[in-house]
Amino acid sequence: MKVHNINLVHVEFYGNALSDKQSGDISIAVRREYHISDDKKYLTVILGLKTTDDEAAPFSFRIEYAGLFFIEKDDQKRIEEIGQKDAPEMMLPYLRETATSLLLKSGFPPIDIPSLNFDNIQFPSQED
């Protein structure tokens, strides 16, 4: 697998000046989606972070990155694993950095977004 590019494709941020909650009370949801090209040479992965719905939260955000990966012949057998695990693990640092930067520039302390083991995360099926 070779990384062709990883790009920020969506960002939203809303501050809630009326909130008295601390940023430590924020819950984050992860979204992952991937698509394999018809010729099985390219894999497009969408990885996103968003705060869960909470009107009392001090802020809310949604960030999404898209990654385009070239699948080498040796990796054809692993294409599903690459889409589910390897590519999202490569993309997560981009999301973490963007979230941290966004919060700091908005006057909020950064939140800790831990490393994730994508083997253990249950995502909705691709058809949902």
Q: How many domains in the chain?
A: 1
Task: Report pLDDT digits (tens) over 87-117.
Answer: 999 999 999 999 999 999 998 888 888 888 8
Domain membership of residue 23 as a residue range = 2-105
Does residue 75 fall inside a structural domain?
A: yes
Does residue 59 fall inside a structural domain?
A: yes
Sheet of 42-51, strands arranged across? 2-15, 59-70, 42-51, 28-36
The model carries a pTM of 0.84
What does DSSP assign to residue 127?
T
Does residue 31 fall inside a structural domain?
A: yes
Q: How far apart are CA 3 and CA 20, in angstroms?
A: 42
The CATH number for 33's domain is: 3.10.420.10
Q: How confident is the model at residue 120 (pLDDT cuts 50, 70, 90)?
A: confident
Does residue 126 fall inside a structural domain?
A: no
